[in-house]
C-alpha cells in the first residue's frame, strides 16, 4: 500500500505535466507560443504540439479568410468628379510572426490598418481614371490593380490580401442628373436610328412592291396588246374574206352602218354635197336597188326608212 501511493503521485505529476505541455492545433488555426510575453515560436501546421508547461503560453488565431466591410466612400476621378464606391476586402493571416509582432495579433487593429491602405490605393487608382473608364471598363481589372498595390504594403503586417471586391459604383449627386440626361439622350438617339432604319426598310419594301407591280402590269399590258393585235388581225381577215366574197354587198352594209351611226339621234344634221359618194344609196322617192348577198332576194328601201341590215 505504501508502494502504490508514490506511484500514484508520480503518475498524477506526469499527467499534470503533460496536460500543461501538450495542446492540439486544428486546421483552421495558427498558434503563437510566448514566454514571459516574448515570442518564442509559431505553429502553422495542425496536430499535437508541445510547449514548456507553466513557462510558455499559447495564443490561437483564426487563419480563415476574413471580410472587412467598409462604408461607401467618395473617390475623385481625373475629371474632378466624385463617385460613390461601395466595396469590401477579403484577407487572412499570411505570416503569423509578422502579424503578431506588428499588430500584436489584434484583428481589429489589422482591419483598421487595412482600411487605410485600401482607401489610399482606391483613391490613387480612381484619380488616374475618368468616370466613363470606371463605369465601362472591366471593374475586375481595376480591383486587381488595387489588390496588387496594397498587397505589397499589407505584407509588412503579415496580412495577405485575397481581393478587393466592388459592390456598387454610383454617381454623386452633383453629376447623377447629368449622367441620367446623357443616358436618356443616348437612348433617344438609338431609338431614332432604329426608327430611321425601319422607315428606310419600309421604303425599300414599298419600292420593290411597286416595281414588281409595274412589271406585272407591263407584262399584262404587253400580253393584252398581243391578244388585241391578234384579235384585230383575225377581224381584219374576216372583213377581208367577207369583202372578197361580195364587194358590192359589203360596201352597201358599211354604208348602212355609217348611216345608222350618223343619224342615231333625233335632230342630227349632216352637211354634204348632193353628189357626195356617202349619199349614193339615198334616193328622192324612188326605190333603191340594194345589192344582195349570194342566194338572197332583192331588197328595196325608200328615202325615209333606210336602215342597215
Contact 61, 32 (CB under 8 A): yes
Tell me if residue 275 falls in helix, strand or coil.
coil
How far is 114 from 153, CA to CA, in rounded Å? 9
Give the residue from 47, 61, 51 showing the smallest Cα distance to 20: 51
Evaluate the CA torsion angle 178, 184, 188, 191 in order and state its sign.
positive
pLDDT at 297: 38
Q: What percent of the chain has pLDDT over 90?
A: 23
SS (H, E, C) 58-99: EEEEECCCEEEECCCEEEECCCCCEEEEEEEEEEEECCHHHH
In tens, the pLDDT along 117-151 reads 999 999 998 898 888 888 776 677 888 888 998 98
Domains of the chain as residue ranges with CATH: 4-62 (no CATH), 66-171 (3.30.479.30), 251-301 (no CATH)
Task: Quickly count: other Cβ atoms within 10 Å of residue 249's Cβ.
Answer: 18
How far is 129 from 140, CA to CA, in rounded Å? 14
Q: What percent of the chain has pLDDT over 70?
A: 74
163 to each of 67, 89, 124, 146, 158, how far by Cα in Å? 10, 6, 17, 9, 15
pLDDT at 84: 86
How far is 96 from 296, CA to CA, in rounded Å? 140
Look up cell 460613390; give the residue: 84
Evaluate the CA torsion angle 270, 272, 275, 277 in order and state its sign.
negative
Evaluate the CA torsion angle 95, 96, 99, 100 in order and state its sign.
negative
Contact 164, 122 (CB under 8 A): yes
pLDDT at 239: 73
In tens, the pLDDT along 83-111 reads 888 899 999 999 999 999 999 899 999 99
In tens, the pLDDT along 247-299 reads 777 777 777 777 777 667 676 676 767 676 766 666 544 444 545 444 433 33
pTM for the predicted model, two decimal places: 0.52
Contact 114, 89 (CB under 8 A): yes
Q: Which residue did the predictor score with more confidence, 305 or 202?
A: 202
Q: Quote the Cα angle for 205-208-210, to 5°.
A: 110
Amino acid at each position: 500500500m505504501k508502494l502504490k501511493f508514490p506511484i500514484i503521485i508520480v503518475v498524477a505529476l506526469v499527467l499534470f505535466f503533460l496536460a500543461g505541455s501538450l495542446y492540439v492545433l486544428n486546421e483552421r488555426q495558427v498558434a503563437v507560443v510566448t514566454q514571459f510575453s516574448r515570442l518564442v515560436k509559431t505553429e502553422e501546421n495542425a496536430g499535437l504540439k508541445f510547449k514548456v508547461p507553466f513557462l510558455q503560453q499559447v495564443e490561437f488565431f483564426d487563419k480563415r479568410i476574413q471580410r472587412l466591410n467598409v462604408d461607401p466612400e467618395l473617390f475623385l476621378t481625373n475629371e474632378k468628379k466624385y463617385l460613390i464606391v461601395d466595396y469590401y476586402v477579403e484577407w487572412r493571416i499570411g505570416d503569423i510572426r509578422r502579424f503578431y509582432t506588428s499588430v500584436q495579433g489584434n484583428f481589429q487593429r489589422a482591419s483598421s490598418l487595412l482600411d487605410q491602405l485600401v482607401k489610399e490605393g482606391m483613391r490613387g487608382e480612381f484619380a488616374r481614371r475618368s468616370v466613363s473608364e470606371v463605369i465601362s471598363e472591366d471593374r475586375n481589372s481595376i480591383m486587381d490593380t488595387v489588390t496588387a498595390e496594397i498587397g505589397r504594403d499589407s505584407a509588412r503586417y503579415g496580412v495577405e490580401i485575397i481581393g478587393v471586391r466592388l459592390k456598387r459604383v454610383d454617381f454623386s449627386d452633383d453629376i447623377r442628373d447629368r449622367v441620367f440626361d446623357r443616358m436618356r439622350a443616348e437612348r433617344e438617339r438609338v431609338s431614332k436610328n432604329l426608327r430611321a432604319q425601319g422607315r428606310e426598310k419600309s421604303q425599300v419594301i414599298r419600292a420593290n412592291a411597286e416595281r414588281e407591280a409595274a412589271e406585272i402590269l407591263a407584262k399584262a399590258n404587253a400580253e393584252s396588246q398581243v391578244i388585241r393585235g391578234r384579235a384585230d388581225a383575225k377581224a381584219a381577215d374576216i372583213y377581208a374574206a367577207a369583202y372578197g366574197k361580195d364587194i358590192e354587198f359589203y360596201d352597201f352594209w358599211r354604208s348602212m352602218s355609217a348611216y345608222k351611226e350618223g343619224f342615231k339621234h333625233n335632230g342630227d344634221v349632216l352637211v354634204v354635197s348632193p353628189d357626195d359618194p356617202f349619199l349614193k344609196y339615198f334616193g328622192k322617192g324612188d326605190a333603191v336597188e340594194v345589192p344582195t348577198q349570194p342566194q338572197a332576194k332583192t331588197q328595196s328601201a325608200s328615202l325615209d326608212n333606210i336602215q342597215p341590215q
